[in-house]
């Protein structure tokens, strides 16, 4: 196998997993079978990223790696969230293309050859677009549907609808993605930002193999806010428009109040209209301040320049080692600070 590896393009399947001890044992044989089938074409490897799991996922991963030399393992020091875990994984892919797959089997590995075929045709970003989602609640499906529509309207970055992280990135798309080191990482937006030749593959999203979704509605809502504020400044502009509009309304109203007093005199009253104005303006100011706070918070986060994740252990697959995947054993924290600069 290894002797011919040199003339085949490397393809690394990157799988981020958080508490997926039940799902991984049935997922890996499926991936392995697909890679076996692709052997003549690509030099397939798998990289499992344990995103700070607490349920024995790491032990399961080690078991898998012991039985398959193509498997590399990466363990983060705690749960950093899927976006950071994927970043950590993709950072470790030194050569060839990368394919992102969920650990729960919702993205069927059996479709990998189709993605590879598109990559062979010259596409850089081959992404899976869901045409059906089984085993998901009605609420999740509708909110997700709405989210992608809103996102497309608000953002100039092309973000294909109903498309998750299930995708293959060519070496140059991967290299480009690596240059984006922002802390608020909305991966779907980052993939879109990179551009290049893109094509989508329609697929049915299967139900989870085991366990339950890590994304509660509340987490999804925050994720949506993350996406919108990371890839659009429309809400900021909205605050400005709202402010201008209310200021105008208040001005007209004030004119009318003065004119009324001049024409017909002013009998005490005043209290209700005063309250209405104060409350209304106060509300509008709070809305605007809140939005400014959102972006200010982001600036604050970015200004800290923290590493995106910290690695606990890194164990390259036996077949993958020999310097083809970088940084064996070293504790790896990606820095954006230019070499030579002090601090960080
Ligand atoms: N995941 C992760 N870190 C997290 C949450 C999730 O690596 O903090 C992984 C998870 O193990 C799975 C993928 O991200 O492989 C998608 O998560 P999940 O299936 O819970 O989301 P859903 O498919 O319900 O949107
Ligand atoms: Mg899932």
Q: How far is the CA of 207 from the centre of ligand 2 (A)?
A: 8
pTM above 0.85, yes or no: no
From residue 323, how far is each of 71, 92, 185, 320 by CA, in Å?
Answer: 15, 11, 28, 8
Q: Which value, to the nearest 10 degrees, does the dihedral of the CA atoms of residues 111, 223, 20, 177 take? A: 50
**Residue 136 CA, closest ligand 1 atom number:** 24
Q: pLDDT band at 288, cuts 50/70/90?
A: confident
Ligand nearest the Cα of residue 74 is 1
Q: Chain centroid to CA 299: how far? A: 19
> Which one of the ligands is nearest to 103 CA?
1
Strands 198-205 and 125-133, how do they pair?
parallel
Residue of the nearest CA to atom 8 in ligand 1? 81
In 159-276, DSSP assigns E strands to 163-169, 198-205
Pocket mutation for ligand 1, best pick of 104, 105, 133 (most atoms within 8 Å of C-beta): 104
310 versus 91: which is more confidently predicted? 91
The pLDDT, as a whole number, for residue 335 is 39
15: CA distance to ligand 1 center in Å?
10
With a Cβ cut-off of 6 Å, ligand 1 is lined by: 16-18, 20, 51, 79, 81-82, 85, 102-104, 106, 213-215
CA atoms of 92 and 246, how far apart (whole Å):
52
Cα of 73 from ligand 2 centre, angstroms: 20
Q: Give distance in angstroms: CA of 245 to centre of ligand 2.
A: 43
Secondary structure (DSSP) of 299-342: HHHHHH---S--EEEEE--TTT-TTSSS-TTS------SPTT--
For ligand 1, atom 3: residue with the closest CA: 82
- pLDDT in the model for residue 149: 86
Length of the chain: 344
Looking at residue 275, its pLDDT comes to: 65
Q: Say whether 71 sits in a helix, a strand or coil.
A: strand
pLDDT of residue 212: 82
Q: What share of the chain is helix, strand, coil (3-state, %, to 5)?
A: 50, 15, 35
Residue among 84, 28, 92 at smallest CA distance from 326: 92
Name the residue among 338, 336, 318 with its Cα closest to residue 70.
Answer: 318
What b/e sequence results for 89-121 when a residue is b if at least 16 CB atoms lie within 10 Å of its CB, and e otherwise?
bbbbbebbbbbbbbbbbbbbbebbeebbebbee
CA-214 nearest atom, ligand 1: 20
Ligand nearest the Cα atom of residue 89: 1
State which of 214, 223, 226 you would mutate to test the pocket of ligand 1, scoring each by most atoms of that ligand within 8 A of its C-beta: 214
Residues 145-172 have pLDDT tens digits of: 888 888 888 887 888 888 889 999 999 8
Token pair 């045709």 is found at 121
How many whole angstroms separate alpha carbon 175 and alpha carbon 158?
19
């Amino acid at each position: 196998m290894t002797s011919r590896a040199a003339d085949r393009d490397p393809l690394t399947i990157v799988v981020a997993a958080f508490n997926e001890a039940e799902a991984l044992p049935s997922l890996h044989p499926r991936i392995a079978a697909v890679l076996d089938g692709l052997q003549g074409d690509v030099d397939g490897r798998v990289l499992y990223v344990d995103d700070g799991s607490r349920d024995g996922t790491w032990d399961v991963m080690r078991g898998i790696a012991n039985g398959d030399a193509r498997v590399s393992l990466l363990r983060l020091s705690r749960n950093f969230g899927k976006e950071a875990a994927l970043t950590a994984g993709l950072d470790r892919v030194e050569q060839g293309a990368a394919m992102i797959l969920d650990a729960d089997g919702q993205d069927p590995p059996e479709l990998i050859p189709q993605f590879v075929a598109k990559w062979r045709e010259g596409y850089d970003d081959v992404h899976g677009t869901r045409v059906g989602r089984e085993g998901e609640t009605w609420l999740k499906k509708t909110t997700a549907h709405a989210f992608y529509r809103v996102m497309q309207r608000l953002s100039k970055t092309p973000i294909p609808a109903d498309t998750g992280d299930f995708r293959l990135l060519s070496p140059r798309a991967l290299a480009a993605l690596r240059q984006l080191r922002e802390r608020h990482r909305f991966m779907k937006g980052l993939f879109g930002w990179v551009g290049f030749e893109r094509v989508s593959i329609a697929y049915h999203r299967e139900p989870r193999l085991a366990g339950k979704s890590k994304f509660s509605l509340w987490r999804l809502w925050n994720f949506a806010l993350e996406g919108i504020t990371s890839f659009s400044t429309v809400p900021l502009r909205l605050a400005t428009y709202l402010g201008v509009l209310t200021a105008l309304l208040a001005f007209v109203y004030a004119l009318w109040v003065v004119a009324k007093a001049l024409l017909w005199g002013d009998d005490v009253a005043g209290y209700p209209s005063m309250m209405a104005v104060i409350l209304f303006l106060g509300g509008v100011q709070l809305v605007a301040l809140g939005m400014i706070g959102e972006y200010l918070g982001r600036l604050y986060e970015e200004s800290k320049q923290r590493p995106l994740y910290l690695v606990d252990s890194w164990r390259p697959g036996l077949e993958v080692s020999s310097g083809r995947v970088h940084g064996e054993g070293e504790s790896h924290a990606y820095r954006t600070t230019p070499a030579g600069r002090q601090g960080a």
